Structure 1
Amino acid sequence: MAKVSISTVSRVVNNPLSVRKEKRERVLQAIQELSYEPNPFASGLRDKRSMTIVAMIPDITNPFYAELFRGIEDMARAKKNNVIICNTDENEIRFLEYMAYFKKKKIDGMIFASGPITKTYFESFDNLKIPVVLVATQSEEFNLPFVKVNDFQASYDAACFLIKNGHKSIGMISADINDPIAGKPRWEGFRNAMLDHQLPFDKNQVVFGDLHFDSGYEAMRKLYGLMPEITAVFAASDTMALGAMAFLQRRGIDVPRQISVIGFDNLNLSRMVTPALTTVSQPIYQMGKESTDLLYQWIETGQKPDKSLLLEHQIIVRDTVWNRN
């Protein structure tokens, strides 16, 4: 129909500028008339790729990871690739079982979300000999590209927002201190904001949890017992913030007039509750897309990206912080 060789058709599809305009137009016209679509699987066979990546997350029930995965999958689908989702449940044995499986089944790369990167984890990644990009976590010890927000600065800003609204007796509901994202850096951001404003800070102002709703409820119960004079709480996740609000409301404590609450994440759920939750927004969906884009850069070029990405955060002001000035 176009009166050209198969190799010319291939060049038009994959590198059109390498073909003279007259030939290129004939081939494109034929492609349109035949309703031709490139077969990504065949392309994968040619390039020795599986056209499949893995998204490894710690807790599939957490709405944070649902939004993160949506970004990962949308970027993969734009590349006509498949995504295998693995729920590690923050269990090392389960993680190693997954890694043993992927040693036998070819995959092109992996997105690893949120967990700490131990030596065991890094060696497992290295043994697979595939690109691995981190999202919502990072490793100071091992050189892996990552996409996240500046958790220290975001938490610092959250505490400063409470302070600017006239709060001085402020508590925090934190993730485990060993958590490289929602734990230590967010705890340090909160602590530094308090100290920089010459406000008291001691161990009774922070209660540790596990990022879940029930954990937030129990942490708020404990924090209120330790700090009955408290006027505001910063929670290291929206789900813990909602748990804290549930405790306060059950005790008949008005949110925000008596105790204000600010969360972290800006999950869709945070705008649906009453009162709507003021929170630190991190671009979760964008984090999923950007980390996957970084992964494909590595897969397609064979070169590890020489930079990681810190995305912008912002305070989303809703109805749970009272101005006491």
Structure 2
Amino acid sequence: MESNIKDVARLANVSISTVSRVMNMPEKVAIETRVKVQEAMKELNYTPNALARGLIYKRTKSLGVLIPDISNMFYSEMLHGMEHAAQRHHYNLILCNTDNNKARMLESLNMLKEKQIDGLVFTSEPVYPDYYEVFKKLQIPIVLAATHSLEFDIPSVKVNDEQASFDAAECLIKHGHRRIGMICGSITDNVTAMPRLQGFLRALRVHDLETDVDSQVQFGGYKFEDGYEAMGQLLRKFPDITAVFASSDERALGAISYLHEHGKSVPEDISVIGFDNLRLAQMSIPKLTTVGQPLYQIGYLAVEKLDHLIQNEHVGELRTYVRHELVERQSVARR
């Protein structure tokens, strides 16, 4: 006959709530009691399921994670950090790929609600007012990772995109470049694209360089092929360009590919700097100079912050900005 939580409590001579606490929050149970309960579970060959773990505290020890595009290399390292933090706090992650589709996102949220998740990590996308209304109906803690909301008081973890982009552009300027273009994200993206554009333009203004968005900036998607296409468009309207800031590594690698196929050498003819520091940045030829985001740390801190909310503990600062880093490799040369 299969053992249950009552059998464990009886054998360990503790209450059912103590057994549940050992499974949910072992760090809050005296070590002698914890060992006694764990030995009873082992002797009875008892494997707790999600319902048993949530019997007392009405928690499933499950967290939902919404990813807009699982094929994007950006998310793997961030998910790595989330997973390690979740393991530390004894949570399971339920990953949902929304494919940048609002209908799929709403379906995912409904599914996660049915799963009775304890909290949600929402990544990268802006939080629009209609999203926020859906979030409120979930009635669970939510943390934003690699995005934030200045309109709504939702805890978040990300880099300072404006300053990071300023540093990227200034790196090119300090290498002697004066004719600098930018491959940017969508003009409708106020979370990352617009702050990165503002940082780029601020660097040009600080150093008294030309700032003509129409000729110097090409907007588009975030994938490799978008960067490839944008580089061609940028060259056509800004032919004497000597350096490019691409606001993601995928865009940067797409730009390098276009330049190589059209007889331009990187960095001898045109220097390229990216943003993210994905693993592929050091695998490309030439190896990509880029602004590094601590993606693992962003994921880890997002789950840490979410756990504080679930435990009704003080979350600290509402919007956490983590430090970025300029990673200099081989794709930027002195002019």
Alignment TM-score, normalising by the size of structure 2: 0.87
Contact 1:235 1:262 in 2 (8 A): yes
Match of 2:251 among 231, 235, 240: 240
Specify the alignment match of 1:192 in structure 2.
202
Aligned residue for 2:127? 117
Match of residue 74 from structure 1: 84
1:169 corresponds, among 179, 186, 197, to: 179
Distance 2:16 2:270 in 1: 70
Closer, same or farther: CA 163–107 of 1 in aligned 2, 3 Å: same
- Structure 2 counterpart of 1:72, which letter? M
SS of residue paired to 1:46: coil
CA contact (8 A) 2:291 2:324 kept: yes
Q: How far did 1:65 drift? A: 1.1
Q: CA deviation at 1:179?
A: 1.3
Query: Can you give the 5+ residue segments of structure 1 that lack an aligned partner in the other structure?
Result: none
Distance 1:157 1:38 in 2: 52
| Equivalent position of 1:249 in the other structure | 260
Q: Is the aligned partner of 1:264 residue 2:272?
A: no
Cα pair distance change 1:146/1:17, threshold 3 Å:
closer
Corresponding residue to 2:323 among 299, 312, 325: 312
Shift of 1:92: 1.2
Which aligned segments of 4 or more residues in structure 1 are displaced greater than 3 angstroms? 7-19, 27-43, 302-306
Q: Percent identity?
A: 44
Residues 75-116 of structure 1, C-alpha deviation per residue, up to 9 Å, x if partnerless?
112222211111111111111122222333311110000101
Stretches of structure 2 that go unaligned for 5 or more consecutive residues are 1-10
Q: Normalising by the residue count of structure 1, what TM-score does the alignment of the two structures yield? A: 0.90
Number of aligned positions between the proteins: 317
Alignment equivalent of 1:132, drawn from 142, 151, 161? 142
Q: Taking structure 1 as reference, are residues 130 and 199 closer, same or farther at Cα in structure 2, changes over 3 Å only? A: same
Q: Label 1:29 to 1:61 Cα distance change in 2 as closer, same or farther (>3 A).
A: closer
Distance 1:141 1:116 in 2: 10
Q: Of 6, 14, 30, which aligns to 1:6?
A: 14
Report how far residue 39 of structure 1 moved: 4.8
Contact map agreement 1:263 1:277 (CA 8 A) in 2: yes
Q: Deviations over 1:7-46 (max 9, x none)?
A: 4994995688986xxxx65x57756876859958433322
Q: Do the aligned residues in 2 keep the contact of 1:270 with 1:277 (CA within 8 Å)?
A: yes
Give a deviation string over 1:97-148, Cα, whole Å, max 9, x none. 2222233331111000010111110000000000110011111111100000
